Amino acid sequence: MPLVSMRQLLDEAAKGGYGVGAFNVNDMEQIQAIMMAAKETKSPVIVQASRGARQFAEDLYLFRLIQAAAELNPEIPIAMHQDHGNSFETCRSAIELGYTSVMMDGSLKEDGKTPSTFEENVEVTRRVVDYAHERGVTVEGEIGVLGGVEDGHGAGGSGLDHITDPDQAVEFAERTGVDALAIAIGTSHGAYKFTKKPDGSVLKMDVLIAIHKRLPNTHLVMHGSSSVPKDLQDIVNQYGGKLKQTWGVPVEEIQLGIKNGVRKINVDTDNRLAITGAIRKVFAESPEKFDPRDYLKPAREAMKKVVAQRMTEFGQAGHAGDYKPVSIEQIAKGYKDGSLSTRPLVAK
Ligand SMILES: [Zn+2]
């Protein structure tokens, strides 16, 4: 199956009432882990690469691996997404490579650190939407600023510093025409999200629900949504790691989000923990081993397990065969003739 439009994938998820995990990749083993999980659970899937990942793996290596995944798994709809594009140029280069979706994170300036103004965000996102939609490519925007830093991207600080204002979210969606919208509701990137199990004082699910009520046709995206389960932290620490205890976003909160318009859930940290724990275990238990396959294979298996579990929890499992992929050219026509426009559908 060729790579599919993320918009189609999310529209189908909305119809089916489920969410789709978006898993970050940097190398072959991570891509294989995701595909093994998607195959096992029969899930459509979003694979995403940050700017850091594109640099680490080199664009062409990474993109060819995704193409291989699509070719080897014709029954699985796969969208390839640029995570946290910092500029029009980053998004343009992803689209030229063949990514079927891009995130223009205009909540920060091009340095990926300094919060931008609302007008700056609207302007750059609108420009990316025009360029991307003409080519049938999906666009995710961001309004409000997430906490933490990942891959050198982020404003740092607490997730509560720049919570999304629902009025601004509506104006932003109307003026940009984004397909999907990342909102800040208290989550942060990285492993250290919350210092205790999050409750309503730090995780603003009420803001998410308010935004969905006013923007029922814009797919909402939860970033920084690893659950950081204690068992994954424990394995890392048991074999010599030094992670401070931390709390992520509980799966039941994500499921509440999915009931209220969340269609894309970004997960990276949990997979990083699973991989690191598995590798540390081999190093600790079998220090005589030195063939990379001896630790990469269990690492890949550990990540596959986490991804398959999330796919089941988000509800995407079993939905891979629900629909036929629409070509990117057809999607481009839909944007042009207005049938895929999100803006006229905005609830006043
Ligand atoms: Zn993010």
**pLDDT on residue 348:** 46
**pLDDT on residue 328:** 97
Q: How far is the CA of 56 from the centre of ligand 1 (A)?
A: 18
Burial profile 208-221: b = 16 or more Cβ within 10 angstroms, e = fewer: bbbbbeebebbbbb
**pLDDT on residue 343:** 66
**Tens digit of each residue's pLDDT (9 = 90 or more) over 226-253:** 999 999 999 999 999 999 989 999 999 9
Q: Is the pLDDT of residue 175 over 90?
A: yes
**pLDDT on residue 161:** 72
Which amino acids are annotated catalytic?
83
Nearest CA among 270, 267, 251 for reference residue 259: 251
**pLDDT on residue 15:** 97
59-63, 144-148, 313-317: segment of lowest average pLDDT = 144-148
Q: How far is the CA of 286 from the centre of ligand 1 (A)?
A: 36
Alpha carbon distance, N-terminus to C-terminus of the chain = 39
Q: How far is the CA of 284 from the centre of ligand 1 (A)?
A: 32
Nearest CA among 56, 65, 73, 52 for reference residue 98: 65
Q: How far is the CA of 254 from the centre of ligand 1 (A)?
A: 15
What's the mean pLDDT when you consider all of the chain?
94
Average pLDDT over residues 209-232: 94
Whole-number Å distance between alpha carbons of 102 and 127: 12
Quickly tell me which residue has 């089941």 as its tokens.
Answer: 312
**pLDDT on residue 4:** 97
Average pLDDT over residues 158-170: 85
Q: How far is the CA of 224 from the centre of ligand 1 (A)?
A: 6
Q: How far is the CA of 222 from the centre of ligand 1 (A)?
A: 8
2-11, 163-172, 197-206, 215-224: segment of lowest average pLDDT = 197-206
pTM listed for this prediction: 0.95
